[in-house]
Chain A
Amino acid sequence: MTALMYAIKLAKEHQAHATVVYVVNTKALSDLVKSGIFVAVERDEYQRDLYEDADRHLRHARHLAEEKGVEIDTVKLEGSVHVVVKELVKNLGADLLILGGISDIRSRRDELASETDRMMRTAPCPVLVVRDDDDIWDEFER
């Protein structure tokens, strides 16, 4: 959420064009089936839920952008998050990738697997990481 708000603010201040992307993590779903945590029927149900989640988040993004008078594109993708985001950034020729989802506590184990970390490391452009900070909510409301 904070990354989205920051991106909308930045796009407004710099008259930049923003593309908001939501990736349905179908790779994680497949991994859960492979590891025996999900049965196939469950995977299908969760996949539907994740697509609904994506639509809801992207609708909300469009709503927030409209509130600020900023025009955005929304893109829904599926697959392994860092892989498809990297591809999208390349295809769009984006000059900045804005990421959220950084939490305070991290174990070494999770650091290695975090999609945010992977996106930071593999992005073909500069990356801005937005922390989950109350100040951004206040700034956005101003």
Chain B
Amino acid sequence: MNVLEALEKELIKVPLESSEKYAIIRELVDVAARAKGYDGDALLDAILARERLGSTGIGNGIAIPHAKSDAVDKLTMVIGISRIPVDFESIDNQKARIFFLVIAPSKEASAHVELLASIARSCASGIFRRMLEQAKDADEVIQLFMD
């Protein structure tokens, strides 16, 4: 499973409205819950439990909050872009603007790992990250990954 296979327009929010770490997580979870009918509280609990092990702000302005949860029936990825840099307690102390929320059912460990690796690869390029930060809407985000 790579980013392109997981991309869904209804799971992309540009721009995000929140400006604080936990509000951003809640907003991303809400996108998944509303679009797919998932139990938002269960998703939030799983994501926050993972976040307690250490911040998923991986540096370079990117955060990838993720978790395993059987509250989803398939591997689900939400992308959010914030206009305001958000303190996500990232490892490089840089504020984040690009967010990938990834939630996988416990039986899809392999696809989950592949997707996270694909996100990391996609965002390795500084030029790509800057273009993503500038994306105006979901269509532009999809196009950037397709190119």
A residues lining the B interface (CB < 8 Å): 25, 28-29, 31-32, 35-39, 41-42, 46, 49-50, 52-53, 103, 105-110, 113-114
Contact = CB atoms under 8 A, between A and B. Distances in A.
Contacts of A37: 56, 58, 64, 66, 116, 119-120
A25 B1 CA distance: 13
A105 B54 contact: no
Nearest to B102: A37
**Interface residues of A: mostly helix, strand, loop or mixed?**
helix
Contacts, number: 68
B120 A35 contact: yes
Nearest to A42: B53
Nearest to A105: B4
Interface in B1-55: 2-5, 50, 53-54
Interface in B106-147: 106-107, 109-110, 112-114, 116-122, 128, 145-147
Contacts of A110: 2-4, 118, 121-122
B59 A36 contact: yes
Interface residues of B, number: 31
Nearest to B1: A103
B84 interface: no
13 contacts: A31-B120, A32-B113, A36-B58, A37-B58, A37-B116, A41-B53, A42-B53, A46-B109, A53-B110, A103-B5, A105-B146, A107-B145, A109-B128
Which 5 residue pairs spanning A and B have beta carbons closest together? A49-B109, A36-B58, A28-B117, A39-B54, A35-B120
Nearest to A41: B53
Contacts of A109: 121-122, 128, 145
Nearest to A48: B109
B65 to A, nearest CB: 10
B121 A113 contact: yes
Given A36-B59, A37-B56, A37-B64, A29 B50 contact: no
Contact of B147 (A52, A107, A114): A107
A80 B147 CA distance: 26
Contact of B91 (A36, A50, A113): A36
A100 to B, nearest CB: 13
A49 to B, nearest CB: 3
A40 to B, nearest CB: 9
Contacts of A36: 58-59, 91
Contacts of B66: 37
Interface centre among B2, B56, B113, B114 (most CB of A within 10 A): B113
A107 B4 contact: yes
